[in-house]
Amino acid sequence: MAQKPSIPKGTRDFNSEEVSKRNYIIDTIKSQFQLFGFQPIETPSFEHSDTLMGKYGDEGDRLIFKILNSGEYLKGVDETFYLNIIRIQNLIRDGYERLLKHLKAQNDLNSLFERDEQGFMELINEWKIFQDQDYELFGFRKSYILLKLSRAFYESNFGENKNLSYSYTGLLVKEILDKYIRESSNKIVSSISEKALRYDLTVPFARYVVQHQNDIEFPFKRYQIQPVWRADRPQKGRFREFFQCDADVVGSTSLLQEVEFIQLYDAVFTSLRLEGVTIKINNRKILSGIAEVIGAQDKLIDFTVALDKLDKIGEEKVKQEMRNKGISEAGIENLQPLFALSGDFSSQVESLKSILATSDIGQKGIEELQFISDAIETLGLKTAKLQLDVTLARGLNYYTGAIFEVSAPEGVKMGSIGGGGRYDDLTGIFGLKNMSGVGISFGLDRIYLVLEELGLFPETVSEQTKVLFINFGSKEAMGCLKAIKALREKGVKAELYPDDAKMKKQMNHANRRNIPYVVLVGEQELEASNFTLKNMASGEQSTLSLSDLLQKLS
């Protein structure tokens, strides 16, 4: 039975028209990158797993595609053993997540049920025997113990015999489960997967800079247009395989770089005729200052990840997520002026000065924003507008200063079509300290969808062959090929229908491919060294010499 052809979810095939439109966007972006002085580089599609892991936060790490070791790498490894460990680990994780969801719904955890702890302690003591032993030897047994712990914990609190407290043993089991899922997951993955598909272009770029630092002249301005992969849930404008178009500068702390990137965004979208985009800007130092003011310095990542979802899930759900992450009710209450912030750039900055009056780092972020705003106001933008958005967080761990996000013009329902920011510490994770960087990215696929929705692609962008020569036989075909060679030397896209088919079939072929002209060279034209040119739209025909044909079609 023949296999039904298909492709993985979140990936796409592109026809010739779609490729042409994508190339139009890429070429437009690339031309502006080069105009602004950026140099091209490329990096491999996959990196060592440890190059990528831990650089994007917990949510980002979960979306990284791991590559299973192959060939000699798995020689002698019992794959079933590892798969069983992973299966049990997933059972633990799924059950524990359901358990946490139930616990978070309780108003008073201390009033929950009491129970004899002997059963828990027996399992915990057995766990202690194995916890410091070799992972490969005892991994399956440890997983089995944890599975029993998880089930016992759940049944004791929510099963039919729920009657005793989990206050001590419950917390101990929680600690064990958390540590196991965190640490053993890394061991399992690293033992069967040492590489991963790149999640973005920024972290590989940081690795590139450190690895090739002796060959680079700093400040280094690079651009990179390549595909990336994320194990995300596919939806409109969100794919598992997609292109990023990045530009970065490393080796400079000057805020003039941020100013230039805003101008670059404006130049690209103006060139694409996508007018009215909003370039949202914030500063990570402001977010750090806000976390400091509300007493959540130790939960900065949790705070920013939740805040970044404000426009997607709304104020109340953001507050609930913060509560779930352990941010105090008093701290959330202190955030209220932030949710109510409104007005133009200057008025929001003034409000922030008041909110962050006691935070030095927050005040530093305000100063940086003010510098960028003043510079853009002096230089002006063509068609884009700059907007301060203090809820903008872009939940990536490596941003340290300005952060950007670009939204489509009003009326277009689409997520961000670009984003970026400053990352002072990124190369430090690969051993190169004090190398500040800042960069932005263009979302090619989403930009495509926006241009398509607004009808902004030029009519000529999908033009392929301009003229098709009709094939009347081998002798006439050779005469056509000489003319086609001359046309191609002039840059005209021309081709010969390869088969000696009926003329109606050849004409229909030209129409289906939207080829605007056909040339007929029969025996009469061949003897007179002439060419009959037909306009397929109007039906008009004219007989031309080769030089006239070249002039007409060039």
Q: What is the DSSP string of 178-233?
A: HHHHHHHHHHHHHHH--EEE-S-SHHHHHHHHHHTGGG-PSSEEEEEEEEEE--PP
Are 503 and 447 contained in the same domain?
Answer: no
Coil, helix or strand at residue 533: strand
Alpha helices by DSSP H, 294-401 = 300-307, 310-313, 315-324, 329-334, 336-339, 345-355, 360-379
What is the predicted pLDDT for the residue at 120? 44
Mean pLDDT, range 419-428, rounded to an integer: 87
What is the predicted pLDDT for the residue at 56? 79
Residue 96 has pLDDT above 80, yes or no: no
Q: What is the spatial distance between Cα 96 and Cα 89, in angstroms, rounded to a whole number?
A: 10
Are 219 and 172 contained in the same domain?
Answer: no
Are 260 and 368 contained in the same domain?
Answer: yes
Residue that wins the pLDDT comparison between 429 and 25: 25
Last residue of a domain, one of 391, 424, 454: 454
What DSSP line would sit under 45-93, residue for residue?
SEEEHHHHTTSSHHHHHHTPPEE---GGGGTT--HHHHHHHHHHHHHHH
What is the predicted pLDDT for the residue at 255? 97
Residue that wins the pLDDT comparison between 328 and 288: 288
Domain that holds residue 182: 71-192
Residue 79 has pLDDT above 60, yes or no: no
Mean pLDDT, range 235-262, rounded to an integer: 92
Dihedral angle sign, alpha carbons of residues 35, 41, 42, 48: negative
Beta bridge partners of 197: 46
Residue 72 has pLDDT above 70, yes or no: no
Q: Using CB atoms within 10 A of its CB, is residue 498 exposed (0-12), middle (13-18) or buried (19+)?
A: exposed
Q: What is the spatial distance between Cα 259 and Cα 110, in angstroms, rounded to a whole number?
A: 53
What is the predicted pLDDT for the residue at 19? 95
Q: What is the spatial distance between Cα 192 and Cα 49, in angstroms, rounded to a whole number?
A: 11
Residue 126 lies in a domain: yes
Are 307 and 431 contained in the same domain?
Answer: yes
Beta bridge partners of 407: 278
How many beta carbons lie within 10 A of that of residue 54, not counting itself? Answer: 15
* Element containing residue 243 per DSSP (H, E): strand 241-250
Look up the CATH number of the domain holding residue 527. Answer: 3.40.50.800
> What are the backbone angles phi and psi of residue 52, rounded to the nearest 5°?
-95, -40
Residue that wins the pLDDT comparison between 46 and 358: 46
Residue 214 has pLDDT above 70, yes or no: yes
Cα Rg for the chain, rounded, in angstroms?
Answer: 31
Are 376 and 439 contained in the same domain?
Answer: yes
Q: Which of 221-230, 280-289, 410-419 has the highest mean pLDDT?
A: 221-230
Residue that wins the pLDDT comparison between 436 and 399: 436
Residue 259 lies in a domain: yes
Residue 341 lies in a domain: yes
**pLDDT over 90 percentage in the chain:** 51
Q: What is the spatial distance between Cα 506 and Cα 524, in angstroms, rounded to a whole number?
A: 19
Residue 406 CA, distance from chain mean position: 13
Alpha carbons within 13 angstroms on the beta-carbon side of residue 184 total 28
461's tokens = 């962008």
Residue 9 lies in a domain: no
Strands of 371-525 (E only): list them.
385-388, 402-407, 418-422, 437-443, 467-469, 494-496, 517-520
DSSP state of 343: S
Residue that wins the pLDDT comparison between 289 and 158: 289
Residue 542 has pLDDT above 90, yes or no: yes
Mean pLDDT, range 355-380, rounded to an integer: 94
Residue 363 lies in a domain: yes
> What confidence category does residue 152 fall into, taking pLDDT thresholds of 50, 70 and 90?
low
Q: pTM for the complete prediction?
A: 0.75
Which among 196, 204, 199, 198 has a CA at the least distance from the CA of 222? 204
Residue 174 lies in a domain: yes
Taking a C-beta distance cutoff of 8 angstroms, is the pair 466, 492 a contact? Answer: yes
Taking a C-beta distance cutoff of 8 angstroms, is the pair 301, 397 a contact? Answer: yes
Q: What is the spatial distance between Cα 158 and Cα 155, in angstroms, rounded to a whole number?
A: 5
Taking a C-beta distance cutoff of 8 angstroms, is the pair 281, 367 a contact? Answer: no
Are 141 and 287 contained in the same domain?
Answer: no
Residue that wins the pLDDT comparison between 155 and 497: 497
Q: List b or e across 339-369, with b for residues whose CB sees 16 or more CB atoms inside 10 angstroms.
A: eebeeebeebbebbeebbeebebbbbbbebb
Which among 448, 405, 492 has a CA at the least distance from the CA of 20? 448
What is the predicted pLDDT for the residue at 395? 56
Residue 497 lies in a domain: yes
pLDDT tens digits, one per residue of 305-346: 787 787 778 888 888 888 887 788 877 777 777 777 778 888
What is the predicted pLDDT for the residue at 179? 54
> What confidence category does residue 250 fall into, taking pLDDT thresholds of 50, 70 and 90?
very high
Residue that wins the pLDDT comparison between 34 and 170: 34
What is the predicted pLDDT for the residue at 259? 98
What is the predicted pLDDT for the residue at 330? 79
Residue 277 has pLDDT above 70, yes or no: yes
Coil, helix or strand at residue 338: helix
CA dihedral 313→318→323→328, nearest 10 degrees, is -170
Residue that wins the pLDDT comparison between 271 and 120: 271
What is the predicted pLDDT for the residue at 399? 84
Are 371 and 257 contained in the same domain?
Answer: yes
Are 236 and 186 contained in the same domain?
Answer: no
Are 320 and 449 contained in the same domain?
Answer: yes
How many beta carbons lie within 10 A of that of residue 522, not counting itself? Answer: 14
Residue 84 has pLDDT above 90, yes or no: no
Mean pLDDT, range 27-51, rounded to an integer: 96
Residue 465 has pLDDT above 60, yes or no: yes
> What confidence category does residue 524 fall into, taking pLDDT thresholds of 50, 70 and 90?
very high
Which among 409, 378, 410, 416 has a CA at the least distance from the CA of 281? 416
Residue 335 lies in a domain: yes
Look up the CATH number of the domain holding residue 333. Answer: 3.30.930.10
Last residue of a domain, one of 192, 214, 233: 192
What is the predicted pLDDT for the residue at 114? 34
Taking a C-beta distance cutoff of 8 angstroms, is the pair 285, 470 a contact? Answer: no
Last residue of a domain, one of 192, 222, 241: 192
Are 268 and 214 contained in the same domain?
Answer: yes
pLDDT mean across residues, the chain: 81
Q: What is the spatial distance between Cα 275 and Cα 273, in angstroms, rounded to a whole number?
A: 6
What is the predicted pLDDT for the residue at 167? 38
Number of domains in the chain: 3
> What confidence category does residue 218 fall into, taking pLDDT thresholds of 50, 70 and 90?
very high
> What confidence category does residue 150 fall into, taking pLDDT thresholds of 50, 70 and 90?
low
> What are the backbone angles phi and psi of residue 20, rounded to the nearest 5°?
-60, -40
Are 219 and 125 contained in the same domain?
Answer: no
What is the predicted pLDDT for the residue at 94? 54
Are 449 and 490 contained in the same domain?
Answer: no
* Element containing residue 280 per DSSP (H, E): strand 278-283
